[in-house]
Structure 1
Amino acid sequence: MIYGVYIVSKSGGLIFHHDHSVPRIETEKTFSFPLDLKLDFSKKCISVIFGQRDGIYVGHHLIAVNGISVNSGALEDGRNVKEMLENEENYPVNLRFCRPRMTTNEKIFLASMFYPLFAIASQLSPEPKSSGIEILEADTFKLHCFQTLTGVKFMVVAEPIQTGVEILLKKIYELYSDYALKNPFYSLEQPLRCELFDTNLQQLLDSFEKTGITNI
């Protein structure tokens, strides 16, 4: 499974990002009164702002109460979530939370953080002209990076067991060359907004996940 694709410019700015198959991570727990999580009810999405336990963390959104979906501070049956959770008679109560997807600003911040890490890795290498970080491995994902001669970095976040990502990265670079670099009006530092690139990238990722590296 491919989770996402990111393109970072030579100066470290995020110029493209695409969420492909990001899993929705949910956690469901039963709580007694009083609720030992502090929730923010001031926005459309009710979120945790203090206290965390059993996989529920600050920033997670409340999406269901006793199996009933939450929408803009109210349950599907019309009851107010805040009033319900403040009433001891409604306990014990089963709450389901989910981790929100990253915003564009958060992705821009993470891209800017990866840029100096890549440079540090290149300088730490005992061999000259190091390629920098090619694979960053964690328990639940691998980040694969390919840097072009112009300094543009292509990154794919995938499952740890996913193979052939190095070939996929070069295929994405070919799409970038065909639909971005050959456009006389495109600048290397500006965000990549190209419908043909988006469409062909989606087809490439779908084909890669279904048939593997032999047919992309």
Structure 2
Amino acid sequence: MYGIYIINRAGGLIYQYDHNMSRVEVEKTFSYPLELVLKIFDEKVVVDFGQRDGIKVGHTVLAINGIAAVGRQLEDGRDIQELIETEENYPIAIKFGRPKLTTNEKIMLAGMFHSLFAIASQLSPEAKSSGIQVIETDTFKLHCSQTLTGWFLCVYTFVNINNSIKFMVIADPKHGSQDALLKRLYEIYADYALKNPFYSIDMPIRCELFDTSLQECVEQAERMSYGGV
């Protein structure tokens, strides 16, 4: 299990939990000239062409000679591209990997998924399509469920939900259906968010009991996936 996303009716990210996001890292010593083509993307130095030995297009420079990268520079202030382009610096050990998403990137991805979900629902030949339920790739599988439209009973009032709250589970592609986990996530959301008189729908979820219950739920689901008890 990699993580949980909850997206509100407008496509905003209202909750995100990283459970076991593995960070792929590959370090290799290179001679001059560098066989990979690098470029600046979103203030990071990334591989643009020439993937090899586990280093893939899109991977970011994480460190050079053991010194961590901070954006386009190393921690000591040296420019990464200038360092790589200078022959006197070789041989050089460069660590590449998949960078951890920033908060802004997670918010952007949530909005993109919300739009894709709406497009898929409109394009579906099935009437009243439920939208995207599963997206499968070589490295992860995305499972999505949404709240039903209509009226939901809260503690003190009825709340009209014209659109849906979306629950996303990012898991290993080897894992099967996550329907049971998605159903349990909704129950936790209803118990600790919707029934909270101080919580406003579509706002970020900040509740210690919600955090604790969700983490326990994910850990239990992961134990069951691996045949644990």
TM band (smaller chain): 0.7 to 0.9
5 Å matches for 1:25-104? 25-35=24-34, 47-48=44-45, 51-54=48-51, 55-57=55-57, 60-65=60-65, 68=66, 70=68, 73=74, 88-104=87-103
Task: Return closer, same or farther for 1:214/1:70 CA change in 2, 3 Å cut-off.
Answer: closer
Task: Return closer, same or farther for 1:213/1:88 CA change in 2, 3 Å cut-off.
Answer: closer
CA distance in 2, matches of 1:212, 1:51: 37
Would you say the 8 A contact 1:63–1:98 is kept in 2? no
**Between 80-89 and 91-100, the greater mean CA deviation after superposition:** 80-89
Q: Pick one of 165, 168, 175 that aligns with 1:155.
A: 168
In the other structure, the counterpart of 1:169 is: 182
CA distance in 2, matches of 1:145, 1:85: 42
CA distance in 2, matches of 1:74, 1:95: 14
- Uncovered stretches (5+) of structure 1, i.e. residues with no partner: none
Residues 42-74 of structure 1 show CA distances to partners (whole Å, capped at 9, x for unaligned) of x9xxx4157543235467132352xx3537635
CA distance in 2, matches of 1:56, 1:122: 33
TM-score relative to the length of structure 2: 0.76
Amino acid at match of 2:31: S
Would you say the 8 A contact 2:60–2:99 is kept in 1? yes
Task: Return closer, same or farther for 1:22/1:160 CA change in 2, 3 Å cut-off.
Answer: same
Task: Return closer, same or farther for 1:215/1:33 CA change in 2, 3 Å cut-off.
Answer: closer
Amino acid at match of 1:138: T
**Between 118-127 and 197-206, the greater mean CA deviation after superposition:** 118-127
Amino acid at match of 1:161: K
In the other structure, the counterpart of 1:185 is: 198
Determine what percentage of the aligned residue pairs are the same residue. Answer: 50
SS of residue in 2 equivalent to 1:122: helix
CA distance in 2, matches of 1:213, 1:147: 26
Amino acid at match of 2:139: T
**Between 30-39 and 158-167, the greater mean CA deviation after superposition:** 30-39
Residues 97-143 of structure 1 show CA distances to partners (whole Å, capped at 9, x for unaligned) of 22211111111111111112212222222221111111111121111
CA distance in 1, matches of 2:6, 2:218: 15
Alpha-carbon distance, 1:145 to partner: 0.6
